[in-house]
Amino acid sequence: MTIQLPDLPYAKDALSPHISAKTLEFHHDKHHAAYVTNTNKFIAGTGLAGASLEEIIKAAANDSSKKGLFNNAAQVWNHTFLWHSMKPNGGGKPTGELAARIEKDFGGYDAFVEKFSATAVGQFGSGWAWLVLDGGKLDITATANADTPLVHGQIPLLTADVWEHAYYLDYQNRRPDYVKTFLAHLVNWDFANANLKA
């Protein structure tokens, strides 16, 4: 079994004007695709062929000789999770169970926005901002490079990619504007709610 590149769950221009078709073309067809190709190269000869992507990530995270495999496999998983974390006409206030949980665990939507934005903007260099479930409570966390909450005992609910390749064509160095747009126009609360239930 080889790891496959999943299709985007929407057309390349579906998130425009917030994220351009050009950005999604490079981000999915080049960056995500390269992580898939490299993961399959690194798997060869490790005994992990046939394992699920999650099993590969967890095995490689605890093995310093498999850093290259971890980085690429985790990036495959993180990006597939990212595509579903966004949707056309998304963003704004949460719906469903998460609306109540955000009120309870952060003290309201505005406080959530403030903390998520500060975490995403404040991540030094490449990485990810996450809404996670940690010990039954919502939390916001950042990971560097390919690191993922999957290997930190947390359940990811939603993510924003803050690697420059995620926003540079559309926002150049203005990461704060990208994060603001992500929260206001792109967040897929249906996906986050489904992850909370599962």
Residues that bind Mn ion (CB under 5 A): 161, 163, 166
- Rounded to the nearest whole angstrom, what is the least distance from the CB of residue 50 to Mn ion in the complex? 27
Angle at 120 between CA 106 and CA 7, to 5 degrees: 105
CA distances from 64 to 36, 61, 75, 91 (A): 20, 7, 17, 38
When the beta carbons of 30 and 137 are compared against Mn ion, the nearer one is: 30
Kindly tell me the burial class for residue 45, based on how many C-beta atoms sit within 10 Å of its own C-beta (0-12, 13-18, 19 or more): exposed
Cβ of residue 83: shortest distance to Mn ion, in angstroms?
10
Write out the two tokens for 98.
């998460």
- How far is residue 96's CA from residue 76's CA, in Å, rounded to a whole number? 29
Minimum distance, C-beta of residue 68 to Mn ion, in the bound complex (Å): 17
The nearer residue to Mn ion, 79 or 101, going by C-beta atoms, is 79
CB of 31 to Mn ion, least distance (A): 5
Q: How far is the CB of 105 from Mn ion (least distance, A)?
A: 27
Closer Cβ to Mn ion, 23 or 195, answer by number: 23
Q: Of 195, 190, 114, 120, which is closest to residue 161 (Cα–Cα)?
A: 120
Q: Please state the closest distance from residue 165 (CB atom) to Mn ion, in A.
A: 5
Whichever of 32 and 185 has its CB closer to Mn ion, that residue is 32
Cβ proximity to Mn ion: between 181 and 193 the closer is 181
The residue whose Cβ lies closest to Mn ion is 161
Instruction: Please enumerate in sequence order all residues whose Cβ is within 8 A of that of 38, keeping only pairs 6 or more positions apart, or say none.
Output: 68, 72
Minimum CB distance to Mn ion smaller for 20 or for 46: 20
Kindly report the CA angle at 59 between 126 and 6, in degrees rounded to 5? 60
CA distance 63 to 6: 27
Neighbours of 136 (CB within 10 A): 7
